Structure formats: C-alpha cells, structure tokens
C-alpha cells in the first residue's frame, strides 16, 4: 500500500513539475509568437517543438528564398533532446546534427563518394542490381513486389557503401540494418520520449526506461556498423568492381518477357534500346519519357513528405505576398515537400500520375526543372542532400529496366478485398507493404 502511495506521490510531483515547466516554456515563447494556428489549451504547441516557433513553407519560391538564398542563416538543425543526449550522444546521426566537426568530416567523405558516383563508377553495380530486381519480379510474378523494391534500394546503397550485396533480401545483415534504421528513426521522432517534453526528468538517476532503451539501441547500432566497416575495410566483402564483372556475365532475360508500361515509354525504349539488349545508362540522354517518369515519381509521392527541419541561426524578416514576417533566431522551418509538389497552381490535376507534364509538345524535357524532393539549401557548403547523384541514377535504371521488361497494367483478376475488378487506387494503401492477401498492382507477362 505504501509502495502504491509512493507511486502516486511521485506521479503527482512529476505532473506538477511538468505543469510548471510547460507554463514556463509557453510564457517564454509567447513574446515572439509567429503567425500560425493556436496551440492546444494548456499545453500550447509543446508537442510540436517546445518553445520554438515553427514555420511550414508550402510555396517553392518562398522555400528557395528562405532556405537557399539565405542558407547561411537557415541551415542548422533543431536539437531533439532525447536524440542528442541519449540515443546519439556522439552525434553520429550527422544528417540531423548541427554543423559541427563530425558533420563536416562526414559531408566531406560523402562528397568524395559522390564524385565517384558522378563519374559513373557505381553505374555497373546499379545496373546489375536493377537487373536482379526484374528477375525477382519475374520469378514470383510480382507477388512480393514491395519486398523486391525494398531489397533493391537497400542492396544498392549497401553494396556501394560497404560492399555488402544482398541478393535475396533475406540476409541477416540486411535484416539487422533495416531493423536498426527503423528503431533509430522511431527513437528520433520528437514524440518518441518523454525526455523531449519534460527534459528535467533526466535529473532522476539510475536505470530509467529511456536510458535503457537508448543504450540498448546504441550498443546494437555500434556493433552493427563496426562489423560492416571491418568487413568493408578487410576486403572480405566484394566492392563495386566485382559487381561490374558479375553484371557483364549475367544472362539477359528472354526477349519475350519484355513488355512495356505504356505506349509512350514502349515506343521510346523500342526505338532507342530495342529488344536485343538491356537499357543502360548510356541511353539516358535519349529517353526523355523515362526521365519524365522519374520526375513524376519524385513529385507524385515524394519519399520525405514533410521535409527535414531546418533551424535558423539569426533573426530575419521574410516577405511573402506583400507581407513581412519576422522569423526569430532558433525558429524551426519545414519546406513541406508534399505541399510544394502538389501545389495546384503549378501542377494541374496534381494527384494524377502524368509524366508528360514534364515534356514539351515535341516530347522533349521542358527546361527549368525544379524539385523539392531532396530538400533545400546547403550544409557545410554543399547541396543539402548529398545522395542526389546516387538516388536519381538508382531511380532511373530501375524504372528503365522495369519498363523494358514488363507490361504494367491493372490486374484482370478480381480485387480480393471486394471481389470486384481492380480500381485505380490513388491512396497510399496501393503502396503498402502490409497488403498481404492480394496486391493492387500485378505484373503480367
């Protein structure tokens, strides 16, 4: 009974302390509140980012003005206390850290890698992986397409970075990496821990649950990366060149397996690539429709929908539609990719997948392409997403290879959920890996 009472007393004390803390942070933030929705009663905007004004940008011009032209003031990252002090005290998650020494070194290393990517050194490896992907899709009739796409994207990055090729998707290292990334992302979410809301609780000593959770994750992640780096450095794992050799000896899929997604892409690939060979990066400049599909994919369902938060390091005033807005130092700024890429003033029928919106009347790419899919600005003086050269090559070769091989269309089997013919599904469930008993898109040969 005494124990129970003690729990109540502790809980009440924590609640009281918490109340005082929240009230304090609301009073501090009210002095310079930016325009925006009012907060929740009592808690204010505490569940967003305690005490910091948050700006959401949904207009490409404004995003460029603030995050690119003024990137010297708007390129820091907000601190998530639980990540900074528990999950990642050494700041190895440099993409989410401020521009410190680790960030600088990591960016330098990545820039070096990307120079090799730009020079085409990873292309054979990427082409080999894309070919393996279509053979997996062919093998099971596309039944597990979500897993195959997952595999190919992970294996491409891991082969290039650590020489860790994952041909089946069932490799234990791959599973461990995916699980670690998922756990890292879960713990990096601002709502993942009470530490982000009531950081004063950290004065409680001992093995508190948030400490145990963070330490367990750190140990697991450190062990994993030690192993990957040791393998890569020892040469135990095969590097890019081995995959280049493997690719050149790989059999081609049979010509009659080759079908194409739609009239435009088929005609284009037919004319340029033909039936006797696979598409390769050399074809890229002559396949504008495939390029348009890459662009429309990045626009229609951007991978990072909300964008990655930036933090300002100085006060500034921004003008938008004739009004001036004060952005105090320390503000959190999101350029919301989804809103920007679905801006109805820029994209007619914005939720339809229409690659030809990027083509002119002669079916060539329109000039002046801009995307927010990779974020904005510069960190350590380099374009913020350093992975762009690798990412856009990965997308291109996979799309080209799948278009060359398959005829992608709506299934003529009934939808297992409704028993009716498949309908175009614009919702995200069409892309969910959780759909088990039937998939909305099937491949036909």
Ligand-binding annotation for 385, yes or no, is yes
- Rounded Cα gap, residues 200 and 18, in angstroms: 8
Measured CA to CA in angstroms, residue 237 lies from 228, 234, 283, 380 at distances of 9, 8, 30, 31
Residue whose structure tokens are 């964008």: 307
**Which residue number, 308 or 365, has a Cβ lying nearer to ligand HEM?**
308
List Cβ neighbours of 19 (8 Å cut-off, separation of 6 or more).
Answer: none
Instruction: For residue 245, give the H/E element and its range.
Output: helix 240-249
- Residue 382 CB, nearest approach to ligand HEM (Å): 8
- Residue 64 CB, nearest approach to ligand HEM (Å): 11
SS3 352: coil
- Residue 421 CB, nearest approach to ligand HEM (Å): 33
List Cβ neighbours of 388 (8 Å cut-off, separation of 6 or more).
Answer: 114, 374
- Residue 398 CB, nearest approach to ligand HEM (Å): 11
CB neighbours of residue 241 within 10 Å: 12
- Residue 297 CB, nearest approach to ligand HEM (Å): 9
**Which residue number, 390 or 406, has a Cβ lying nearer to ligand HEM?**
390
Decide: 128 and 243 in contact? Cβ < 8 Å: yes
**Which residue number, 14 or 224, has a Cβ lying nearer to ligand HEM?**
224
Name the token pair of 137: 């899709």
Decide: 312 and 78 in contact? Cβ < 8 Å: no
**Which residue number, 261 or 391, has a Cβ lying nearer to ligand HEM?**
391
**Which residue number, 46 or 154, has a Cβ lying nearer to ligand HEM?**
154
SS3 427: coil
Q: DSSP assignment of 87-138, as one string?
A: I-TT---GGGS-S-HHHHHHHHHHHHHHHHHHTTTTHHHHHHHHHHHHHHHH
Decide: 213 and 82 in contact? Cβ < 8 Å: no
Sign of CA pseudo-dihedral 115, 116, 118, 119:
positive
- Residue 412 CB, nearest approach to ligand HEM (Å): 32
**Which residue number, 32 or 98, has a Cβ lying nearer to ligand HEM?**
98
Sign of CA pseudo-dihedral 244, 249, 250, 252:
positive
Measured CA to CA in angstroms, residue 420 lies from 148, 412, 417 at distances of 27, 10, 8
Phi, psi for 406 (deg, rounded to 5) = -115, 155
- Residue 380 CB, nearest approach to ligand HEM (Å): 6
Decide: 134 and 218 in contact? Cβ < 8 Å: no
- Residue 156 CB, nearest approach to ligand HEM (Å): 8
**Which residue number, 84 or 258, has a Cβ lying nearer to ligand HEM?**
84
**Which residue number, 390 or 422, has a Cβ lying nearer to ligand HEM?**
390
End-to-end CA distance of the chain: 70
- Residue 226 CB, nearest approach to ligand HEM (Å): 20
Distance of CA 413 to the CA centre of its chain: 33
- Rounded Cα gap, residues 323 and 314, in angstroms: 20
- Residue 40 CB, nearest approach to ligand HEM (Å): 27
Decide: 392 and 294 in contact? Cβ < 8 Å: yes
**Which residue number, 223 or 303, has a Cβ lying nearer to ligand HEM?**
303
**Which residue number, 45 or 398, has a Cβ lying nearer to ligand HEM?**
398
Q: DSSP assignment of 297-316, as one string?
A: HHHHS-SSSS---EE-SS-E
Residues near ligand HEM (CB under 6 A): 95, 107, 110, 157, 303-304, 307-308, 310, 373-377, 379, 384-387, 390-391
Annotated binding site: 385
Annotated binding site for heme: 385
């Amino acid at each position: 009974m005494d124990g129970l009472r003690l729990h109540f007393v502790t809980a009440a004390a924590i609640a009281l302390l918490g109340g005082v803390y929240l009230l304090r942070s609301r009073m501090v933030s009210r002095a310079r509140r930016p325009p925006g929705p009012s907060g929740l009663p009592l808690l204010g905007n505490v569940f967003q980012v305690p005490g910091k004004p948050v700006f959401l940008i949904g207009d490409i011009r404004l995003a460029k003005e603030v995050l690119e032209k003024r990137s010297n003031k708007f390129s820091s990252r907000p601190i998530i206390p639980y990540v900074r002090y528990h999950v990642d005290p050494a700041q190895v998650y440099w993409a989410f850290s401020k521009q410190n020494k680790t960030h600088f070194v990591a960016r330098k290393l990545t820039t070096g890698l990307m120079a090799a990517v730009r020079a085409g050194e990873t292309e054979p490896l990427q082409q080999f992986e894309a070919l393996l992907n279509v053979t997996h899709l062919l093998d099971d009739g596309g039944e597990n397409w979500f897993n195959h796409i997952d595999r190919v994207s992970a294996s491409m990055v891991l082969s290039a970075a650590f020489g860790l090729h994952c041909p089946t998707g069932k490799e234990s290292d791959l599973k461990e990496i995916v699980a670690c990334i998922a756990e890292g992302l879960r713990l990096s979410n601002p709502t993942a821990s009470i530490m982000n809301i009531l950081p004063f609780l950290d004065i409680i000593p001992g093995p508190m649950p948030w400490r145990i959770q963070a330490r367990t994750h750190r140990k697991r992640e450190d062990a994993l990366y030690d192993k990957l780096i040791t393998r890569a450095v020892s040469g135990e794992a095969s590097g890019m060149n081995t995959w280049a050799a493997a690719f050149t000896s790989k059999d081609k899929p049979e010509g009659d397996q080759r079908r194409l997604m739609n009239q435009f892409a088929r005609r284009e690939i037919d004319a340029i690539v033909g039936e006797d060979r696979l598409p390769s990066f050399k074809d890229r400049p002559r396949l504008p429709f495939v390029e348009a599909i890459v662009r429309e994919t990045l626009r229609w369902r951007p991978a990072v929908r909300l964008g990655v938060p930036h933090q300002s390091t100085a006060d500034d005033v921004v003008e938008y539609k004739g009004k001036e807005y004060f952005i105090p130092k320390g503000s959190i700024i999101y350029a919301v990719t989804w809103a920007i890429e679905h801006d109805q003033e820029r994209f007619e029928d914005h939720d339809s997948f229409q690659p030809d919106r990027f083509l002119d009347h002669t079916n060539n790419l329109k000039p002046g392409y801009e995307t927010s899919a990779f974020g904005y600005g510069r960190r350590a003086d380099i374009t913020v997403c350093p992975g762009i050269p690798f990412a856009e090559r990965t997308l291109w070769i996979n799309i080209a290879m799948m278009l060359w091989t398959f005829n992608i269309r709506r299934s003529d089997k009934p939808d297992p959920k409704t028993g009716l013919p498949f309908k175009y599904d614009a919702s995200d469930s069409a892309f969910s890996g959780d759909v088990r008993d039937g998939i909305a898109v099937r491949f036909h040969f």
